[in-house]
Amino acid sequence: MRHWSLLFILAVVFGIGAFAYAPFSPDWWLPNPATEPVGVVADAARRIDGLFLAVLGLSGFGFVVAWAATIRPRRGGLGREAAWAVVPGGILLFLACHQMNAWAVAERRAIAPPESPLAEATARRFQWSFAYPGPDGLIGTADDLAVDGELHLVRGESALVHLKSADVFHAFFLPQLRVKRDAAPGATVPLRLEIDRAGRYELACAELCGWGHYRMRGVVVVHETRAGFETWLAARVAERDRDRADDGPTESFLTVPEFGAAVRDKRSSLLAGEDRPRGGQMRGTTRETTVGLRGSPSGKP
């Protein structure tokens, strides 16, 4: 037992070993699809990973340097004081500049240029609901397609999704795409998703929203081609218009009514599971937040 202190080497071995192994595991490092533990499946996610690694590398290097400096501590001296102030400051400045592009891609591009959203995601306790606009291009009208738990996208196509909450705070969390955005009640959060691998990605809620938070999950399905997406959409629309349960002919009688916006507000309050006071606050807030999306067909005057 004399050399028991050698056990501490295990900590070092484990630390280094974990760093060496992690990039090859889909779970140990930042989560990736099991089929692609090393690659990252979206451009924006690669930028986030790049930032993460830059911060990790810099702080790791800084930690080693600072630790080395404590081995033979020396006091005083203007030069050393200045170095200790300027070098960390420079690192912070570098990080501040370095992250700007990633931020711009993740946040600013979502609202410029203005365009109509591919879908609207509504978080409610404890389910993700998605609405796709019908032929009129507006969400909240009679020809909408409502799908629960599944968001469908096309590979390589940049899609705008409007994120809303019907009741409390939720967060739209796609770990494999490094996306995590809060869904605030009353606000419309524009979200831009572009994924360069077809497949199914896990969607979770990342804001404690109640007793069922742990099972508030969904899936993002990325189709290989636009045609695949259209086929899925057509099948769901046919299902929505079904007037016979067996496989008889189904006719679609779509109308384009004019009262969409009012209904949308009512629906989101009903989905909350209770009658909340209508009009006033809720509706005003919704209209206000869509001002940022000028020109979008859903931002109705």
The residue ranges that bind another protein (CB under 8 A) are 1, 4, 125-127, 129, 141-142, 146, 148-150, 210-212, 215-219, 239-246, 248-249, 251, 253, 255, 257-260, 262-263, 266-267, 270-271, 273-275, 279
Q: What gap in Å lies between CA 206 and CA 191, rounded to an integer? A: 16
CB of 263 to another protein, least distance (A): 5
The pair of three-digit structure tokens given for residue 67, joined into one six-digit string: 């630790």
Name which of 97, 116, 171, 135 is nearest 257 in CA terms.
135
Contact 130, 122 (CB under 8 A): yes
Q: What gap in Å lies between CA 35 and CA 19, rounded to an integer? A: 20
Q: Which is nearer to another protein, 133 or 218 (CB)?
A: 218
**Rounded to 10 degrees, what is the CA torsion of 75, 78, 83, 84?**
50
CB of 142 to another protein, least distance (A): 5
Name which of 73, 33, 38 is nearest 200 in CA terms.
33
CB of 46 to another protein, least distance (A): 26
Q: Which is nearer to another protein, 1 or 12 (CB)?
A: 1
| Interaxial angle between packed helices 78-98 and 43-69, expressed in degrees from 0 to 180 and rounded to the nearest 10 | 170
CB of 115 to another protein, least distance (A): 25
Cβ burial of 26 (10 Å; 0-12, 13-18, 19+) is middle
Q: Which is nearer to another protein, 27 or 43 (CB)?
A: 27
Q: Which is nearer to another protein, 48 or 147 (CB)?
A: 147
Name which of 194, 205, 187 is nearest 160 in CA terms.
194
Q: Which is nearer to another protein, 190 or 229 (CB)?
A: 229
Q: What gap in Å lies between CA 111 and CA 105, rounded to an integer? A: 11
CB of 248 to another protein, least distance (A): 8
The pair of three-digit structure tokens given for residue 87, joined into one six-digit string: 């070098």
Q: Which is nearer to another protein, 109 or 283 (CB)?
A: 283
CB of 273 to another protein, least distance (A): 6
CB of 77 to another protein, least distance (A): 45
Q: Which is nearer to another protein, 23 or 273 (CB)?
A: 273
